[in-house]
Every structure is written in structure tokens, then in C-alpha cells.
């Protein structure tokens, strides 16, 4: 036989109070004595009552469901963003609703429609491409508080939380120059990526600051996978053997670059004089970076903190505590290991 679902009136009868009193006790609203709250909680525990949050949200006009749209759930960057966001939401009584858009604008808009149909109270999202926003129709239809989390800022009209790409590239390039490198290349990313453009800006400005020329042939695009980056690095070093250091746009680019360097009969490391080792620095640190041989040096922003900051920012919007547009840029740090 099907077990009878416990209702709020059953809790009220068990506790010897009104349904209204139970509702206020469970939602922590109104002036309810500690003794009454204790009786209600005891009845809830004994009967196994589960609060109907959907119905509660309808009555209060407040949703506890928060949407997150990312391009690729398997990307370590967005996994960390999701983890940080989830931490903050759970601490504040909200629940995360996750969707993946891939690289399709149509899929992104479908995710938005689904989120709105589910009654989300707020939305955290990453645009389909760094270089573009969702269509104006999609943006205008999101009639809820929203925060953009991306590798690069894409709009002045939406709250943003993300890294300082220009400063990250400056730090990496200057570190290599101060280590004695004068032949520094950049590998990875695509030409339509704003984050790549920002990092290249930091890379170029630092070269010029130290009186070094920018060489377009030493800036190489490639797909976001280890095989592509390995091939790109192998070809780059074969054509330009004087290169002694490489900035790697993605963490996976740096991992693939290890193999690319080895395929040219050179090794990865800090010695750019004897033996002609090639130094590697990646962006957006991952756990695997400490396990490779040699371990990989990275410039990284605390990505989980991006998720946490986005969550806190969204909650402030939802609770009408702060409606002024904000752009939160997190400072990068240099994690020195064996590769540079």
C-alpha cells in the first residue's frame, strides 16, 4: 500500500497548534516562542514531514532555486565556479539548478527558457562565447537578478565576477623575463576569445615595457585539447627553435605542451641556457599541474572564489540589499613549480 503523505495540518494536530503557527515556525517568521518551535520541530521529526518548497515559494513570491548555465560542465574552470556557487547557496538556503549550453546560442536560449519555466529566483551564467552576449531578446527576458561569470567581461549592463586577464599575463611574462627569457611565445585559444585578447594585451605590453619585440609568428591558435596543443607546440618549436618559454592559454594547453616540447627532443624546465630547456606557464591552475613531470607553473585566479563571490552578489540582489551594478575582478597569483 502507498504510504500516506504527511501534510502540514497533520503536523499542526500533532503539535497542538494551528496550521498558521506551524507555517510561521517552519519559515522562521512571526513571534513564535521557543517552546512552540520545539513542539513543531518534534512533530515534524516524528511524522517525517517534508516542506513543499514549491508551494511555499508561490505563496511568498520568492524562489529558492538558482540557475547556473555554463558551456561545459567537464571544464575544470566551470566545475570550480559551480562548486563555489553551490557552497554559498547552500549556506543561505538556496538550491542550484545546473544546465550546460555548449557552444550553441540556440541551446543557451533554451537553457534560459527552461530556467525561467522552473521559476528560478536568480541566474548565474557564462556567455556562449567570450566575444559575445546572449541576444538582446534573451537578456531582456531574464526578469530576475543575474550575474555573469566568465573569463572576460562582456557587458557593462550586467553584474560580473571574473579574473584579471591582463594582469595575469603581465605577471607571467615579467616573471619569465626576469628569469632570463627573451624568446617568449603564446600558444592556445581562438581569435574570437576576449580572454585571449586580454591576455595577449598583457603579454605584448610587458614585452614592450622591457624593450622586446612582439613576433606574430610566435602567437599560435589551437583547439582546446592536449593533442592540438602538443601538435601546435611541436610545430612552433620546430619552426622557431630559439624560443625558450611559452605561455599556455588553457590548463589543458599547458598539459599538452609538455608532450609537444618532448617531441622536439627538448625538455621542460627552468634552465634556458644549458640544454635549451623550454619554460612553460599555464593559466587557471588545476590539480594535475602538481603531478606532472616536471610540475607546471601557473598563473591562477581562485576560481572557486569566483563562484562564491557570484553567489553572494546574486543573493544581495535578490534580497534587494544592493541593486547597483558591480564588476568584481579577482587578483591572480603566481604558483611557481618546476616548469618555469
Q: Write down the pLDDT at residue 136.
A: 46
The whole-number average pLDDT for the span 88-94 is 88
Q: Write down the pLDDT at residue 46.
A: 85
Please state which of the ranges 137-141, 166-170, 287-291 shows the lowest mean pLDDT. 137-141
Residue 143 has pLDDT above 80, yes or no: no
pTM of this structure: 0.76
Q: Write down the pLDDT at residue 131.
A: 43
Residue 27 has pLDDT above 70, yes or no: no
pLDDT tens-digit series, residues 186-199: 999 998 888 899 99
65-163+304-331 has CATH 3.10.20.590 classification:
no
pLDDT tens-digit series, residues 28-82: 666 778 888 888 888 888 887 766 554 454 444 567 889 999 988 888 888 999 9
Q: Write down the pLDDT at residue 62.
A: 60
At 129, is the pLDDT very low, low, confident or very high (cuts 50, 70, 90)? low
Q: Write down the pLDDT at residue 309.
A: 95
Measure the CA dihedral 287/99/191/246, to 10°: 0
Domain ranges of the chain: 8-51, 65-163+304-331, 165-300
- Residue 205 Cα distances to 157, 180, 218, angstroms: 28, 18, 15
Q: Exposed, middle or buried by CB within 10 Å (0-12, 13-18, 19+), for 229?
A: buried
Q: Write down the pLDDT at residue 306.
A: 94
Measure the CA dihedral 258/232/102/290, to 10°: 10
Q: Write down the pLDDT at residue 19.
A: 76
**Between 323 and 318, residue with greater pLDDT:** 318
Q: Write down the pLDDT at residue 7.
A: 79
CA distance 257 to 248: 8
Q: Write down the pLDDT at residue 335.
A: 96
At 217, is the pLDDT very low, low, confident or very high (cuts 50, 70, 90)? very high
In this structure, what are the phi and psi dihedrals at residue 150, rounded to the nearest 5 degrees? -155, 175
Residue 21 has pLDDT above 60, yes or no: yes
Kindly state the percentage of the chain with pLDDT values over 90. 49
Q: Write down the pLDDT at residue 274.
A: 63
We find that the CATH architecture of domain 165-300 is: 3-Layer(aba) Sandwich (3.40)
pLDDT tens-digit series, residues 263-311: 999 999 988 776 679 999 999 999 899 999 999 999 999 999 999 999 9
Q: Write down the pLDDT at residue 2.
A: 45
Exposure string of 193-213, with b = 16+ CB inside 10 Å and e = fewer, is: bbbbbbbbebbbebbeeeebe
- Residue 77 Cα distances to 128, 159, 275, 324, angstroms: 15, 19, 35, 27
Fold of 8-51: 434 Repressor (Amino-terminal Domain) (1.10.260)
Please state which of the ranges 51-55, 95-99, 151-155 shows the lowest mean pLDDT. 51-55
Q: Do domains 8-51 and 165-300 have the same CATH topology?
A: no
The whole-number average pLDDT for the span 181-185 is 95
Amino acid at each position: 500500500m502507498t504510504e500516506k503523505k504527511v501534510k502540514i495540518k497533520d503536523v499542526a494536530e500533532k503539535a497542538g497548534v494551528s496550521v498558521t503557527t506551524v507555517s510561521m515556525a517552519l519559515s522562521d517568521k512571526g513571534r513564535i516562542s521557543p517552546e512552540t518551535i520545539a513542539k513543531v520541530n518534534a512533530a515534524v521529526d516524528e511524522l517525517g514531514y517534508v516542506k513543499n518548497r514549491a508551494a511555499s515559494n508561490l505563496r511568498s513570491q520568492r524562489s529558492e532555486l538558482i540557475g547556473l548555465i555554463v558551456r561545459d560542465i567537464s571544464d575544470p574552470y566551470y566545475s570550480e565556479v559551480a562548486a563555489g556557487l553551490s557552497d554559498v547557496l547552500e549556506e543561505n538556503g538556496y538550491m542550484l539548478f545546473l544546465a550546460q549550453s555548449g557552444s550553441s546560442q540556440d541551446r543557451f536560449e533554451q537553457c534560459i527558457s527552461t530556467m525561467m519555466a522552473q521559476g528560478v529566483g536568480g541566474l548565474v551564467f557564462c556567455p556562449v562565447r567570450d566575444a559575445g552576449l546572449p541576444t538582446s531578446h534573451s537578456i531582456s527576458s531574464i526578469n530576475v537578478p543575474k550575474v555573469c561569470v566568465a573569463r572576460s567581461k562582456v557587458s557593462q549592463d550586467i553584474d560580473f565576477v571574473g579574473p584579471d586577464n591582463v594582469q595575469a599575463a603581465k605577471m607571467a611574462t615579467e616573471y619569465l623575463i626576469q628569469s632570463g627569457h627573451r624568446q617568449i611565445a603564446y600558444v592556445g585559444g581562438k581569435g574570437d576569445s576576449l580572454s585571449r585578447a586580454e591576455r595577449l594585451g598583457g603579454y605584448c605590453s610587458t614585452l614592450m615595457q622591457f624593450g622586446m619585440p612582439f613576433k606574430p609568428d610566435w602567437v599560435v591558435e589551437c583547439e582546446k585539447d592536449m593533442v592540438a596543443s602538443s601538435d601546435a607546440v611541436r610545430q612552433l618549436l620546430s619552426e622557431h627553435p630559439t624560443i625558450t618559454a611559452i605561455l599556455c592559454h588553457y590548463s589543458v594547453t599547458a598539459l599538452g605542451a609538455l608532450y609537444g616540447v618532448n617531441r622536439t627532443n627538448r625538455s621542460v624546465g627552468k634552465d634556458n641556457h644549458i640544454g635549451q630547456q623550454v619554460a612553460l606557464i599555464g593559466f587557471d591552475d588545476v590539480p594535475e599541474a602538481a603531478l606532472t613531470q616536471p610540475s607546471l607553473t601557473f598563473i591562477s585566479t581562485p576560481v572557486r572564489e569566483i563562484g562564491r563571490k557570484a553567489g553572494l552578489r546574486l543573493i544581495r540582489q535578490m534580497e534587494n540589499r544592493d541593486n547597483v551594478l558591480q564588476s568584481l575582478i579577482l587578483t591572480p597569483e603566481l604558483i611557481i613549480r618546476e616548469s618555469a
